[in-house]
Structure 1
């Protein structure tokens, strides 16, 4: 066992505890990103001090450590999974298992839920092309350390060989998964025990927007939803505020339960309302005020997701018609079929 990594994992644990303390005090608005960066620091140090790494002959078969999924998006809640890809340019060497033990085992020892895959570049692309469950976490991939060119190769070939050639079936699969997820978990914007992640109006709706945006428009960051006109400036700002509230509630739930927890039970809602300092106002109980605000935030996220899907012609049971044959005028406005509005002439804007 590499003693350097044992020490680094304990330091990671200490710094994380301090970060969580600041979050609970209301002094850490960038918790998700800072939490992810603490993990980044650990992996970079582990890579630099690795005793196994030099035996892998990095010149002939270089490798990189890559963050996937929520960790790749830097959305690292208190008890979120840490998903990694150890990517080799050529075949995965036999000594790779020793590298995993050296880097990952110290994190398991401090209680982190770390998942990993060890693949060659060719294997990774082949699997991503066949199994879209493998593809979607890679859409969120972020380079951490190692040989950066292999990460660049992965993302370039992923786009050219898979995304551009299979965009339609990939998006159809995502849309179908969304519908199944909504059917299973229900509409979290009004349920009494909402699921913060998987329910309709939950975080997964936002992730679906990012994935589809990545596939169709090659967006690189959430802000691109606004830059490309998929959301207005006001919509994007309100979306950020809604996400921040949901993430904060999720972090509080993680801390309260001592584990990953996305389904808010009645009991936990009472405790969250208290810890988030909601007060009784005009006869409305703290838990009612908390749930009311949460439902409002999730309703906005749900509506943005629905409008996003509608604008791209992906709404269930109906495709958007960008050029409608049926129009009618109302006080200077053109009311297009399906309810879209346009000004009849530029001067009507004034």
Structure 2
């Protein structure tokens, strides 16, 4: 900086033009702004704003000196006698000027005959403009300041932030006298207007995952409000000047730490975007965090959590201090602390408060933060917590605890997740805020059906559901899946609340699958019976289904605005109504539950996770439950790997303890022909499963083996069955009508055929041939032979060819009766 002064003096000594000096200043400014990023990194942003402000001060001071020399030459008057003063306003006045913030300058003058003040002011401005400095400026005669301040509250606000930069100290003293008048004028109206202004900004910019650091909740406007009120009432030049009667030392130190950190974040945000930016958008977090030394994904989480935490600190203390400075905005109905110095006592007071007592009085927040607390919450506090949830608007109490930064202390099961960011592109709020918004949605349901379901719950069940909602995201921030961790946390919390075993189990299940309803409704085919059954198997009773429906509503409404809308609501309602029908089919639900258990084993398998994602998805979409139930995870993997590479057909022959045929085909397999040719062998088991891509898988187990010499003939037979279609004459078996069970209402997608009769050669071949002639498509089959009787089960796709021909099928199967 001294080097710049020398260069300017040298140019002035050479009588260089104003433009030449402006070129030098412009070059200096450009160089300076080019080094800001490096300077910020070197010092980790420490004292960055003050240093930046002082640099701009110096440039303005040099410009003033250049203008003086240009106007007066070697006959320059003393600065104090020239009635012009440069004054910093706004964040520049508060010495909190960020990189690309507006440089607000006011030039105050006194019209004195003999001085060309207007020409001097123009000269200063032209030099600054030629130097490329982007200014927001205003020019006022000192005597008009008071009247100008009354025209607009924003102007008055900027005036009270005035700071001397350069010029006449004598005129600055007169300016200060006017500023004193401005501060004392209509103070109550000013304070009321600024408090209302902040409320409006908070409604516009809530504390989301993408906070507005300047005008949002807990942002710089909160801190500024304390300063503005302190300035006009006590002539305080900074918040630190209020320390003592209004602000305690410990409070201020914590507040200052939070504020300075947010200043550094804002500076990094400006540097990262190369412009004035106050919204910490998600996509900017990695780069902004890196400026402050948070250089990996794990540290990005820590950084974002720290931002939210410090915003809450600013909000808390500014709320308390504004009330200590002015009583505007508080009412007698707001909950105030009684004569108690214990945290539990204050919590009991909250548990009995009425909705109209909220938000609580700032003195109550101060009492919560200042009262004596043990390191860990008292064990007997859980009775009070239960009582809080009995209140119809318990979210008001939880909001108070969030504002006091005590939710994690009060409910330790939440502690590790409080303020945790959720970088999923879905959630708009950090954990804690999101949680309370979910409970608020639960207690103020707008959907008529869900409202009715909730109202039909007993008070005990409503409290239970609120605690499920409270803990549903508490497992986040761990290495393990947060759904699973949440079940462990809920078990511990529910035991402290005295829940019975049934509540604990249902609650754990709701938390484990709390996202399943919204995901299924919005991503899956709701016309697929398999989708409905899979979902319903997790909530097998109407009570549990009702609870997950209500929980899903609360969770989605707590995510953010318009997440739960008419479209998503209709999808979730459809899933709910279809599932209500599905849970009545107990046998299907049990079968689906077994399948899901096997799917989970499969998904934990290393071999399965090594498969391509597309093949994993195809595998899990296979409709046949029996395919999953009957095969081990490794067998399933082996089968789908062969199917994935299948061109037309594939078969294998195993002939160890008994003969087993495995067949994969895309188009043709004349199964009735194959079975007829092998009718001399006893079939003990046969499975048929539709896989994917029009591939069917067959496994046929026989009671005996074949001779080694029969291998060639069997291979030829397999090829013929896979490549040709034959017209067969097969002897009709003897089946009684009572041996046949047909259910065309087995499920939405499948009809069922059961045959339980004496084992006969050619029986399966005859049935398959009959189905082929009618165009009946077997989706899945289970064939079992024991003690000379067969027990065959066929699941048949509902294409009309089976149920429209049931009388014919029965006749063809039983006409020998």
State the TM-score, normalizing by the size of structure 2. Answer: 0.37
Q: How does 1:99-248 map to 2 (within 5 A)?
A: 99-107=123-131, 109=132, 112-159=133-180, 161-187=181-207, 191-226=208-243, 228-248=244-264
Q: How does 1:196-345 map to 2 (within 5 A)?
A: 196-226=213-243, 228-278=244-294, 285-314=298-327, 316-318=329-331, 328=339, 339=364
Q: 1:123-162 CA distances to partner (integer Å, 9 max, x unpaired)?
A: 2221112322111111111111111121221122221x33
Name the Cα RMSD after superposition: 3.1
Task: Summarize the Cα distance change of 1:64–1:312 in structure 2 as closer, same or farther, 3 Å threshold.
Answer: closer
What's the counterpart of residue 36 of structure 1?
A: 53
Please say if residues 19 and 31 of structure 1, whose CA atoms lie closer than 8 Å, have aligned partners that are also in contact: no
Contact 1:175 1:314 in 2 (8 A): no
2 CA distance for matches of 1:330 and 1:235?
18
1:36 Cα offset (Å): 0.8
1:302 Cα deviation from its structure 2 partner: 0.5
Corresponding residue of 1:71: 92
1:313 CA drift (Å)? 4.3
Tell me, what secondary structure is at the counterpart of 1:268?
Answer: helix
TM-score where L is the length of structure 1: 0.82
Q: 1:238 to 1:168 in 2, by over 3 A?
A: same
2:210–2:279 Cα contact (<8 Å) kept: yes
Per-residue CA distance 1:152-194 (angstroms, 9 max, x = gap): 21122221x332231111111111111111111123xxx1111
Aligned length: 326
Q: Distance in 2 between matches of 1:271 and 1:79?
A: 17
1:276 and 1:48 map into 2 onto residues whose CA distance is 38
User: SS of the counterpart of 2:173?
Assistant: helix
Deviation at 1:97, TM superposition (A): 6.0
**Bigger relative contact order (CA 8 A; separation at least 6):** 1
Unmatched segments (≥5 aa) in structure 2:
1-17, 350-360, 368-817
CA change 1:293–1:329 in 2 (3 A) is: closer
Deviation at 1:117, TM superposition (A): 0.5
Task: Give distance in 1, aligned partners of 2:43 and 2:333.
Answer: 43
SS state at 1:2 partner = helix
For the pair shown, the structure with the greater C-alpha radius of gyration is 2
8 Å contact 1:43–1:103 — kept in the other structure?
no
Question: Structure 1 319/61 Cα, relative in aligned 2: closer, same or farther at 3 Å?
Answer: farther
Residues 1:277 and 1:48: Cα distance change in structure 2 (over 3 Å): closer
The aligned residue for residue 403 of structure 2 is none
SS in 1 for 2:226: helix
**Whole-angstrom distance in 2 between the partners of 1:319 and 1:93:** 55
Q: Which runs of 5+ in 1 are unaligned?
A: 342-350
Question: 2-side partners of 1:299 and 1:8: how far apart?
Answer: 42
Determine helix, strand or coil for the equivalent of 1:231. coil
